[in-house]
């Protein structure tokens, strides 16, 4: 059995792993290596991993139960794997800094993203470390944010006017809206394994800080959204076909750069459910 190699990519986050074939069942040693690397580096990359949807779901399933997305299409024979295909679906909501499915009571632990079809150029994805962003805040601002909660709303990234244009789409959107009403999470989240603190608001789904007035909330969120995505907290990945990324969704945001139209981009994603966010 080969010994995995972990190559860090930046101080804030990111590492590339080689020496593990994720298309095959993972031994316990390799699972432990990946889990520890994810805790340390927050987003992991595997080059040249031509996995099919069943293999992708199996790999993601080692780390928790899988989510079926309420809006995006999926692979029919593997519904836990959603399809992000720019020829089929409007994916503009990915071209904003966001943390996946924070509109859920138990937002994702992480996600496994596989590159299937790429434009000749463009289409990179950026990740940002919520841990690095939190740790760079001043002590007074940390004290202000501790104990505050924020509302996360499904419709912020999935508005009716873009996702309800046919009878079938409207029925799907209305069902998703009923199942996912707005809810609250802490503004600062404690990682359930490492105990490290992270900013946990994102432009994709966070609408307001509940304990502040509307104007105060707007000002603080604007500041936090800008702060969280400062270049020194981020990493940019230039995809190659069959690359796989696995990120800790509890402490990161990401942004899929929409700079390749009219070329087509197809990605498959398996989302691992997490737990209820908390602060301590």
Task: Enumerate the active-site residues.
Answer: 98, 100, 254, 269
* 3 state DSSP class of 232: helix
Q: Does residue 202 contact residue 93 with C-beta atoms inside 8 Å?
A: no
Strands (E), 59-158: 66-67, 74-75, 78-85, 108-117, 125-129, 149-152
Structure-derived torsion over alpha carbons of residues 70, 110, 270, 91, reported in degrees to the nearest 10: 60
Please give the structure tokens belonging to residue 159: 């508005």
| Distance separating the N- and C-terminal Cα atoms of the chain | 41
Q: Does residue 247 contact residue 42 with C-beta atoms inside 8 Å?
A: yes
Q: Tell me how many helices (H) and strands (E) the chain has.
A: 7, 17
User: What are the phi and psi torsion angles at 97 (to 5°)?
Assistant: -65, 125
* 3 state DSSP class of 90: coil
For the chain, where are the alpha helices, taking DSSP H only? 28-41, 53-61, 130-135, 139-145, 160-163, 167-179, 214-228
């Amino acid at each position: 059995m080969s010994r995995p190699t972990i190559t860090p990519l930046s101080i804030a986050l990111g590492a590339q792993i080689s020496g593990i074939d994720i298309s095959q069942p993972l031994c316990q040693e390799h699972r432990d290596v990946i889990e520890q690397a994810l805790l340390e580096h927050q987003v992991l990359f595997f080059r040249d991993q031509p996995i099919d949807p069943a293999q992708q779901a199996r790999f993601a399933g080692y780390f928790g139960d899988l989510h079926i997305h309420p809006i995006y299409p999926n692979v029919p024979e593997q519904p836990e794997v959603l399809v992000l295909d720019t020829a089929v679906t409007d994916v503009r909501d990915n071209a904003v800094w966001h943390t996946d499915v924070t509109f859920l009571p138990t937002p994702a632990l992480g996600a496994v993203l596989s590159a299937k079809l790429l434009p000749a150029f463009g289409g990179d994805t950026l990740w940002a470390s919520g841990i690095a962003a939190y740790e760079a805040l001043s002590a007074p601002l940390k004290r202000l944010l501790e104990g505050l909660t924020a509302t996360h709303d499904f419709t912020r990234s999935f508005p009716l006017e873009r996702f309800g244009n046919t009878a079938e789409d409207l029925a799907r959107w209305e069902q998703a809206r009923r199942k996912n009403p707005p809810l609250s999470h802490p503004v600062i989240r404690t990682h359930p394994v490492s105990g490290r603190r992270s900013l946990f608001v994102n432009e994709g789904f966070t609408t307001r800080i509940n304990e502040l007035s509307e104007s105060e909330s707007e000002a603080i969120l604007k500041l936090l959204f800008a702060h969280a995505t400062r270049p020194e907290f981020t990493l940019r990945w230039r995809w190659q076909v069959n690359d796989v990324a696995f990120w800790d969704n509890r402490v990161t945001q990401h942004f899929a750069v929409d700079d390749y139209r009219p070329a087509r981009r197809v990605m498959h994603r398996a989302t691992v459910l997490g737990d209820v966010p908390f602060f301590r």
